[in-house]
Structure 1
């Protein structure tokens, strides 16, 4: 089989499932060549992916966590940005950034999620016929903007600019990131003088312990790059899960009937199956720190190893009938949020948004009808639907 996981068309046509099935069965530790690079290892089986996630000392994040990482950009945020650090630095930063999404922030988070999801789904049902991505992209973006205390008039611009940051290349990407960094800088300056109970205020007041044992506040740069990371993680993934889940509910109306009968437990299991089914965080990169082997295959120090979450989440040795969307699937130990030290810091928020979304759909929508062909993006990093034409027929 010809394998090129860097080919945009493979993702745009939603054809990668067959490739991963072949890899799991034939070459679960696969050496992937690159046209303009040194190549990388592809891990497709659940057990191997979990193994690498679990060993931060041997498989490092410090040199970048995606295939197209810019070495200079990564070096500039090393030991500062959560996703490109290893323990113990990672652990310290995670505790501080996580405080903005932790127990103390829960009342604010729950109120924000409930309000935003109700407003967005209600507006979508009133419209009736729409591209559902127009609604789905608002929910995680609005929630995070609200939690960060951003003025309401900035919310849509922030969402559009973050999407530009992900989708654009070269100067356009740099410009989008620069605009977001400038906004966070202005907000941080204000929170230093006028702290509140929002996410930025909480982490602006937090203190970290450096390698030498000295305690200090997070620097402006540390706060800004991690605010950008939190916004990116929420904005570009949850919408893909929501839209993918809605597509399956439209394709099989019996799922909606089952959900209405199953109640709260059904919402929980359906949300988890939506996460497994969509798996928007496609690959994660690690750099090997010393010679080792995976599955009996020698891997050299300095080699790049990629973990492919969508393949692990469809591994036949772990999931029964993995190619079926089963809203009552239990157990469901998917890796949509990763596992180990780098388990997604926004997992609780994402699950809360999905549960609220499903409750609103069940409360307001009688049936979901497809009115056109779904379309997918061409990214092998964050993947999902970019167009989902539907008609939402209201209850009553």
Structure 2
């Protein structure tokens, strides 16, 4: 089989699944060629992927966490931006940044999430016919912008520029978008240092992180705060948007599962959330760089080799998930890795689950039937992938 995971059209057509299935069965640690580059490893089996995620000794995140990363741009933020940091800096940053998403905090945030979801779904049902992506993107955007106390007039721009920063057509476009976000948060941070509130930016601006000296702490630098506000925006926006839209499509294509979910009521929602996350897995791959000679799945990996971990493949691994190619809202256990694994488990995983829980609860309460009005379209990214257009009709519950 031809294996070209750098071909964007493969993802735009949604035709990468059989390629990954072939790799799992025949070449689970595959050496992938690269035009004008040294190539990289593709790891496709669940067990091997989880093993690399958990191996902090042999694999690093600080040299980039996606294919086509700009080495210069990564170097500028490494060890200061959570997703491209290794311990101990990663550990110290995550302890501060994660406070806002702790379980105790989420109980308060839950009221905001439920209100946002109810408003968005009510508006969508009243519209009747719509591109569901227009609704899906509002949920995480409105929640995270509220948590950061970003002015309401800026919310739409923030959502659009965040998508451009991580899904732009080329590195130049993505870099320019990141620059705009950094500038925006630099100005916002300056204001919050002078006029602090209770929002995420204010709290991080006045918190302290540990250093390499035992018992010593210091404030976060402006760069650490700005870079990680960018990361929080991306994580919050991309997962829920693509998972909620992908979940709707899966329920339309599997009407028996829509029936099961509605019949199960609120008690059925948590398992359905996990299956939607397993099925849609917006974070297609993550990358690590080998720090020393090692092996993955019995294959020798050299120092400096780039190793890509294909979460989408792990979530369809037949040895872990019975009937892996079937969407089943009652699936249990469901040990998907849509949020990664190990120390780099996504900071916003709890918030994303809360948003999807509120979304599926609201959907089953407000919507009787969902009908496609056209072909779904997908984006052309091998990094953050999902539905880019989903025209449909919503029929309200009588």
Report whether the alignment pairs 1:15 with 2:10.
Answer: no
* Residue pairs, 1:183-202, within 5 angstroms: 183-202=184-203
Question: For residues 14 and 125 of structure 1, what CA distance do their matches in structure 2 show?
Answer: 28
The alpha carbon displacement at 1:57 in A equals 1.5
1:141 aligned to 2:145?
Answer: no
CA distance in 2 between partners of 1:336 and 1:106 (Å)? 20
Find the counterpart in structure 1 of residue 42 from structure 2. Answer: 42
Secondary structure class of the residue paired with 2:114: helix
Give the equivalent residue in structure 2 for 1:265.
Answer: 267
Q: Paired residue for 1:316?
A: 318
> Given the superposition, is the C-alpha separation of residues 360 and 19 from structure 1 closer, same or farther in structure 2, using an over 3 Å criterion?
same
State whether residues 287 and 309 of structure 2, in contact with CA within 8 Å, keep that contact through their aligned partners in structure 1.
Answer: yes
Counterpart of 1:4 in 2: which secondary structure? coil
RMSD: 1.2
Match of 2:328 among 322, 326, 329: 326
Among 333, 346, 361, the residue aligned to 1:344: 346
Shift of 1:163: 1.6
SS for the counterpart of 2:392 is strand
Q: Which residue of 2 aligns with 1:284?
A: 286
Q: Identify the residue that residue 129 of structure 1 maps to in structure 2.
A: 129
- CA distance in 2 between counterparts of 1:102 and 1:194 reads 24
Give 2:67's aligned residue: 67
- 8 Å Cα contact 1:101/1:199 also seen in 2: no
After superposition, the C-alpha distances for 1:62-110 in whole angstroms (9 at most, x for unaligned) are: 1111111111111111211100111121111000010122245324421
Q: Deviations over 1:320-359 (max 9, x none)?
A: 0000000000000000011110001100000000010011
Structure 2 gap segments, 5+ residues each: none
The SS at the match of 2:133 is helix
Counterpart Cα distance in 1 of 2:228 and 2:171: 22
Q: Output the TM-score relative to the length of structure 2.
A: 0.97
User: Counterparts of 2:97 and 2:298 in 1: how far apart (Å)?
Assistant: 38
CA displacement 1:103-157 (0-9 Å, x = unmatched): 4532442122111111111111111001100110111111100000111111111
* Residue of 331, 334, 337 corresponding to 1:335: 337
Which residues in structure 2 correspond to 1:1-396 (within 5 Å)?
1-168=1-168, 169-213=170-214, 214-396=216-398
For 1:103 and 1:14, locate their aligned partners in 2 and report how far apart those are by CA, in whole Å. 36
User: 1:41·1:304 contact (CA, 8 Å) conserved in 2?
Assistant: yes
Count of residue pairs the alignment pairs up = 396
Tell me the distance in 2 between the aligned counterparts of 1:252 and 1:289: 45
Q: Deviations over 1:131-186 (max 9, x none)?
A: 10011011111110000011111111111111222232244333322221122112
Q: Stretches of 4+ moved more than 3 A in 1? A: none
Give the deviation of 1:295 after TM superposition.
Answer: 1.6
